[in-house]
Amino acid sequence: MSRAAEPGAEGTDGDTVRIYRLNGLQKPIRQRLKAVQMEAARVWMYCVQRHQQARIEHQPWPSRDDLQRETKGGQYALHSQSIHMVCHQFFANVETIKQLRPSNPQKYMTVEWPAQAVSREGKRLILPMGRGCKSFCLDDLSEEKPNMGIISAMGNTFLALQKYENWPEVIISIAKRREPAKLILKNGFQIEAAKHLKFLVREIFFRKVYNPVNLPIGENDIVVDIGAHNGIFTLFAASITKNMVYAFEPTPASFEFLKRNIDANGLNNVIARNAAVSDKIGSTKLFLSLESDWQNMLVDYINPDKIEKYKLDFLTLGPEKPERHVEVPTTTLQDIMDSNNIGQLDFLKMDCQGSEGSILQSTPRDYLERVRKIAMEFHDQLSNFEHNDIQKILGEADFITELKWVSKSSPEGYLYAWRN
């Protein structure tokens, strides 16, 4: 019924499906859920009809922006992002849709709510609807653990046997659907994290989400890790290069894990700093999310328009979500390169929750031209600079860029940049 685009479920490639038992729902609630699915089907059929109309009248195909603009404004009793997700699903099938002749109308459709919009109060699940429409409040729900089938569990077990020195502990944690206290890789690296340890190690060390085949880390590369979090990419980079790795993480709790991981592995080619990278040197406030440390972000870059557009409830401060800030020092990419005498920055990794565009935009072009490779996450729902703006900045500095979306309906993804 609801999907949340967030990592964490074993055996998935980015999306976590949170499953809630809906046993014993009263008839009015069941009827309303069916009405919501019918409303989503109305949005889908509008998209189909617009494409069919364009085909018949030999007009340009409507773009995603066209459909999102035409379906907003309270026409449908759905959350705005749920409407956008229907449009995204439509465009995922657009090449097929272009060939469609008139077909049977879609009556029901699965409804998706973005992770940012869904909230829980104890066992109560709150699903927002369209503007002026009452939210769904589903009571007495018990969330199941992410559904990990036999094949997925076997895959994770084989991975544990192949990749982890402490595989007995890992296999026991898989059976109990818990996180192990630490992971010890076959190369002896010991890694800890507050949450999602197996997921993060798998994504960074084994799936190499920051290092596609055309963007490797060289054995003599200088690496800068902006938004180092628990330090898992920092460890990955330090396991390859013999040169220096500079890691920056503003969240105090995450920085403690970063330092612990560096110390546990005796890495003398890593310099870590408890600071944020920004567009200026000084200090600022870091918003500490109550929901996830992955959602911490600099207050300077919180955009009220994005909060409204994407329904970013975790950034909405109210009585039930008290304001939580911590003052953190800030530096710039230019200062990092100057203060560490980095003439050429070989590999720049960035995951900084909406700050990435401002960091790059404020870096002088002659400094960007001294960067060889970039792997970063972009966050269109958070940043004042969306992925196309960042591509433009990098293109002007003679980078070639490539995108990889987290999922078809997600405003997040990876941006890779390199020089010809």
Per-residue pLDDT, 152: 60
12 pLDDT tier (thresholds 50, 70, 90): very low
| pLDDT surpasses 60 at 83 | yes
DSSP string, 118-147: -EEETTEEEE--STTSPPEEE-S--BPPP-
Determine what percent of the chain is predicted with pLDDT higher than 90.
Answer: 43
Read off the pTM.
Answer: 0.66
- E strand map for 196-334: 223-226, 245-248, 270-273, 276-277, 282-287, 297-298, 325-331
Residue 388 in 3-state DSSP? helix
- E strand map for 62-164: 119-121, 124-127, 136-138
Residue 285's beta-bridge partner residues? 327
How many of the other CB atoms lie within 10 Å of CB of 66? 15
Which residues, other chains included, contact 94 with Cβ-Cβ below 8 Å and sequence gap of 6+? 51, 61
Per-residue pLDDT, 25: 61
Per-residue pLDDT, 139: 60
Structural domains for the chain: 27-138 (no CATH), 212-418 (3.40.50.150)
Average pLDDT over residues 150-178: 81
What does DSSP say about strands 345-350 and 371-379: parallel, antiparallel, or unpaired? Answer: parallel
Cα–Cα dist 100/109, whole Å:
18
| pLDDT surpasses 50 at 17 | no
47 pLDDT tier (thresholds 50, 70, 90): confident
Structure tokens belonging to residue 411: 């405003």
Cα–Cα dist 234/257, whole Å:
12
Phi, psi of 141 (to 5 degrees): -100, 135
Instruction: Kindly report which listed range (90-94, 236-240, 296-300) carries the lowest average pLDDT score.
Output: 90-94
Structure tokens belonging to residue 374: 């970039």
- E strand map for 160-303: 183-184, 190-191, 223-226, 245-248, 270-273, 276-277, 282-287, 297-298
Average pLDDT over residues 393-404: 96
Count of residues in the chain: 420
Place of tokens 């792997």: 375
With both helix axes pointing from N to C terminus, report the angle between 167-176 and 150-163 in degrees, rounded to the nearest 10: 160
319 pLDDT tier (thresholds 50, 70, 90): very low
280 pLDDT tier (thresholds 50, 70, 90): very high
Q: Number of C-alpha atoms within 13 angstroms, CB side, residue 324? A: 16
Place of tokens 């196309």: 388
Residue 188 in 3-state DSSP? coil
Residue 375's beta-bridge partner residues? 349, 416
Cα–Cα dist 88/33, whole Å:
21
Cα–Cα dist 14/4, whole Å:
10
Place of tokens 């890495």: 267
Q: Which of 269, 212, 263 is nearest to 238 (CA)?
A: 269
Place of tokens 């999602």: 196
